[in-house]
């Protein structure tokens, strides 16, 4: 038996973890004499029901072994609390490997806790770089990669980034588990989601936007410019608002243009349908840039750089930063562009199965 602890705490991580958990269940069903025992440790980084519990319900993710309920807070305090509590769980369960996803504080805490206890670490979505160390996510992914024994890269670019940093052992280009998840869930979303009728949205008659990164939400000018640009766009903008963004904006919410429809965070299936049926997507989220690409929906990224350079090179994504006129111009430019993409750019939808197989091979090699 192989014992895996998956440490996650934010909604994009739940999506990735769901794909890997499905692959593990499939493997255990087909190989009853060689079981993988996976337990999920939920740090509680995302604790709002629409950003946490509903994901476990929709995606049929195994219930967490424990929810550490760390909640929000300053980066140091939040990461420190996670580190302390994750360490306690690892000491109790003594896993063979710790699996971390992406680039959040949960990723960093999981990797640090495992490294201090000399437990091998596997990092899903390794090798991504924005080359902007002002981003907390960049620090998290750098540290996680340099502590990991197994690095699961979603793209060739990610592999090259690791090579430039001297990391070559244990590196595997497996494709993107988020693509696995989209392929698996989009039909289920179309059957069960009522978001389009509930919000009375016509297909291709609106834009969808998300803003959550600290580089935008913590900068008053950037936020003002972004929201001002939304008000100048010809189509209505549906904006599912992150609780932290709502808290930061406070009373400013009443001054947002009537063109912008602020709604609460939505479940994963609802978000897929909002993205798939939108005319254009504006976002500072890495995952949503890719989902726009997979749905062939033009994307305007509200950042100065992106880890997902392939979407920009494919002409489906424009980096607009947070300047009002640049955003407006990027929207107009993308409106006149037909999108096409190489469906194999992020793998073939079987990335999670490769991850499962490589994890098992790593255990055999250690015996």
Residues marked as catalytic: 212
Residue 160 Cα distances to 67, 153, 164, 172, 350, angstroms: 36, 10, 6, 11, 22
Helices (runs of H) and strands (runs of E) counted in the chain: 16, 13
- Residue 40, SS3 per DSSP: strand
Q: Please state the three-class secondary structure of 165-203 as a single string.
A: CCCCCCEEECCCHHHHHHHHHHHHHHHHCCHHHHCCCCC
Strands 207-210 and 237-240 come out as parallel
- 260 in Cβ contact with 229 (< 8 Å): no
- 162 in Cβ contact with 151 (< 8 Å): yes
- 121 in Cβ contact with 100 (< 8 Å): yes
- 152 in Cβ contact with 144 (< 8 Å): no
Q: Which two tokens stand for residue 133?
A: 């160390």
Nearest Cα to Cα of residue 109 among 8, 237, 2: 8
Enter the DSSP assignment of 282.
E
User: What span, in angstroms and rounded, lies between the C-alpha atoms of 281 and 216?
Assistant: 17
Q: What's the maximum distance between 2 C-alpha atoms anywhere in the chain?
A: 63
Mention every residue, 6+ apart, whose C-beta is less than 8 A from residue 26: 353
User: What span, in angstroms and rounded, lies between the C-alpha atoms of 329 and 322?
Assistant: 12
If one counts every other C-beta atom within 10 angstroms of the C-beta of residue 288, the result is: 23
- Residue 323, SS3 per DSSP: coil
Phi, psi of 66 (to 5 degrees): -155, 145
């Amino acid at each position: 038996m192989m014992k895996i602890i998956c440490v996650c705490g934010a909604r994009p991580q739940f999506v990735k973890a769901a794909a890997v958990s499905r692959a593990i269940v499939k493997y255990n069903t087909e190989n009853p004499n060689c079981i993988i025992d996976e337990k999920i440790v939920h740090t509680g980084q995302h604790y709002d029901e629409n950003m946490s519990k509903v994901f476990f319900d929709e995606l049929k993710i195994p219930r967490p072994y424990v929810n550490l309920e760390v909640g929000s807070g300053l980066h140091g305090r939040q990461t420190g609390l996670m580190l302390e509590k994750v360490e306690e769980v690892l000491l109790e369960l003594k896993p063979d490997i710790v699996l971390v996803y992406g680039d959040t504080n949960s990723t960093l805490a999981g990797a640090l806790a495992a490294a201090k206890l000399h437990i091998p670490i596997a990092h899903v979505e390794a090798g991504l770089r924005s080359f902007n160390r002002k981003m907390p996510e960049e620090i998290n992914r750098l540290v996680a990669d340099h502590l990991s024994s197994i690095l699961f890269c979603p793209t060739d670019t990610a592999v090259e980034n690791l090579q430039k940093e001297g990391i070559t052992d244990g590196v595997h280009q497996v494709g993107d588990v988020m693509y696995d998840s989209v392929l698996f869930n989009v039909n289920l979303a179309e059957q069960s989601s009522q978001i389009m009728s509930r919000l009375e949205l016509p297909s291709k008659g609106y834009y969808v936007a998300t803003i959550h990164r600290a580089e935008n939400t913590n900068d008053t000018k950037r936020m003002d410019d972004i929201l001002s640009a939304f008000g100048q766009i010809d189509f209505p903008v549906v904006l599912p608002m992150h609780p932290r963004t709502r808290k930061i904006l406070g009373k400013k919410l009443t001054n947002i243009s009537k063109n912008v429809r602020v709604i609460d965070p939505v479940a994963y299936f609802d978000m897929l349908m909002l993205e798939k049926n939108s005319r254009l997507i504006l976002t500072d989220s890495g995952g949503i840039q890719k989902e726009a690409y997979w749905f062939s929906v033009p994307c305007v990224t509200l950042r100065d750089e992106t880890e997902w350079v392939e979407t920009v090179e494919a002409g489906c994504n424009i980096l607009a930063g947070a300047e009002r006129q640049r955003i407006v111009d990027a929207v107009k430019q993308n409106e006149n562009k037909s999108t096409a993409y190489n469906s194999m750019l992020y793998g073939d939808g079987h990335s999670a199965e490769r991850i499962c197989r490589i994890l098992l091979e790593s255990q055999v090699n250690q015996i």
